[in-house]
Structure 1
Amino acid sequence: MAFRVRDRLAVADVVTLLNAGLGVVAMVAAVTEGPALAARLILLAAVADGLDGLVARHLGSSEVGLTLDSMADIVSFGTAPAVLLFAIAHRAWEPLSSAPALYAAAVIVPTLFAVLALLRAALYTVYYGEETTRPGVQNTLAASMLAVGYLAVGAMLDPGTTATAALAAGAVLAVLMLAPLPYPKLLDRDALAMGVVQMGAVLFPAVISRAFPRALLLAATAYLLLAPRFYWAE
């Protein structure tokens, strides 16, 4: 019995696989090149994640599309940002073994983030499907905020301060992924606008005093705080 990959995958699924591939490359970059490149690759994966939804709505999806999307999210917006967090901490406090408390935080917080992202993806796939509003901060948003936070602010601060702030943000966002707050999907026009700013942050992270990462961080924070009550998609 063959998998019949060509027959069973839609164009949107190819974009989803690109998302997952970028997540893997981001993890490699976090270990070999440092947090800055890894953060840009996570943001690029988020662009692909938004694009696969647009493609699916206009060209159709496959039976495996929703499951594949959730699995890709686990890679790019669960595991990859967890590795990014550890890389930021390792760069600041190497060798971590010399400071047991810091080492514990550098391991526990990324693990918590990855595990709760996995749990949210599973709950979303089984119980919420394609509903426009779901509880909890989206994995994509949480991962993107960690990545763009590093590009917008963290890369310019003292490494120890950056690591402390990143781990604190990671812990808060991990919990918010399962919080009973309703987060609506972005309208296509808003997703497109965010994608343009994200690409600016990926391609030109330091241009005009880091204007693109800072604009993206501001927009993401506004959505995080205001969307449960005020987003006009509702």
Structure 2
Amino acid sequence: MADDRGPQGHLRLSLADVLTLSNAVCGFAAIYCITTAVLVPHLTDGSSGEGVRQGAASAVMFILLGSLFDLFDGVVARKLRSSGMGAELDNLSDLISFGLAPAYFVVVWGLVGGGDDHLLPVMVSAVAVLLAGVMRLARFSITTMRDGMFEGMPIPFAALTVLSVVLLQLPFVITLVAVVAVAYLMVSRVEYPKPTGRLAIATAAWGTVNIGCLVSWALRAPGAERLLVTGCALQVTLAAALPVCAAYRKVRTRGLRRG
């Protein structure tokens, strides 16, 4: 294992570590935005003006940005030197940005949109997301990925799917069921493809496009509402379709081998 300490015991951070820590900062920034722009105004004077839209958009943008940092820190770690604590930093940062932040987003959505009457089911669904994220990361740390596939929905993808479900503004019960379903998929044995090669490029492009849609939505640009709904719907559709495609490819490969 590489020595992570400098001449006087100072920790050395690689470029990959800096990207990973940037992911953690994005998660913290998302929580800050949703608290100051959405929750605090709601609790103090019950307002839900323009700042709410901008705060929600900023929070989601930070989580999207964190997912891009998470995507590229692995690429940089493979190409360049990575410190011995890189894997631990990655899990801890992912927990902040893709476990705690989306769970908190769900709680704030429930408080602002449903009030105290719906607090218990909202808390249950939010805790489900958080605990599923913790277990997903723990399992990832002790298992070996095979054939370029993840077992269970990757936590960055799950976080973006949870946010998309909330932003779609579906009926309350449907939203909660969908959020819990995403939590289940994180700890399930359903396989998702790892974003490498062209898929990694497509993932980065998808995240960049979504950030643009969120900026347009926050600024109330013409057609931005439709763009946001379309992007969120596509994210949820991908979450459901990717494991089906992966299973089909797996069955087809087995059939070709037998043939």
- TM-score relative to the length of structure 1: 0.82
Q: Distance in 2 between matches of 1:226 and 1:112?
A: 26
Alignment partner, residue 108 of structure 1: 124
Alignment partner, residue 14 of structure 1: 18
Alignment partner, residue 98 of structure 2: 77
Q: Could you list the runs of 5+ residues in structure 1 that have no partner in the other structure?
A: none
Q: Distance in 1 between matches of 2:9 and 2:112?
A: 43
Q: Does 1:118 align with 2:134?
A: yes
Q: Distance in 1 between matches of 2:147 and 2:81?
A: 17
Alignment partner, residue 57 of structure 1: 78
Alignment partner, residue 5 of structure 1: 11
Contact map agreement 1:198 1:213 (CA 8 A) in 2: no
Deviation at 1:217, TM superposition (A): 4.5
Alignment partner, residue 62 of structure 2: 41
Match of 2:180 among 171, 175, 189: 171
Q: CA RMSD in A?
A: 2.5
Deviation at 1:224, TM superposition (A): 4.3
Q: Distance in 1 between matches of 2:241 and 2:176?
A: 21
Task: Name the aligned partner's letter for residue 27 of structure 2.
Answer: G
Q: Could you list the runs of 5+ residues in structure 2 that have no partner in the other structure?
A: 39-55, 218-222, 254-259
Task: Name the aligned partner's letter for residue 223 of structure 1.
Answer: L
Task: Name the aligned partner's letter for residue 165 of structure 1.
Answer: I
SS at 2:143's partner residue?
Answer: helix
Task: Name the aligned partner's letter for residue 78 of structure 2.
Answer: R
Deviation at 1:87, TM superposition (A): 1.3
Deviations, residues 199-222 of structure 1 (Å, cap 9, x unaligned): 121133345631555554444443
Contact map agreement 1:133 1:182 (CA 8 A) in 2: yes
Contact map agreement 1:43 1:147 (CA 8 A) in 2: no
**Percent identity over the alignment?**
26
Alignment partner, residue 194 of structure 1: 203
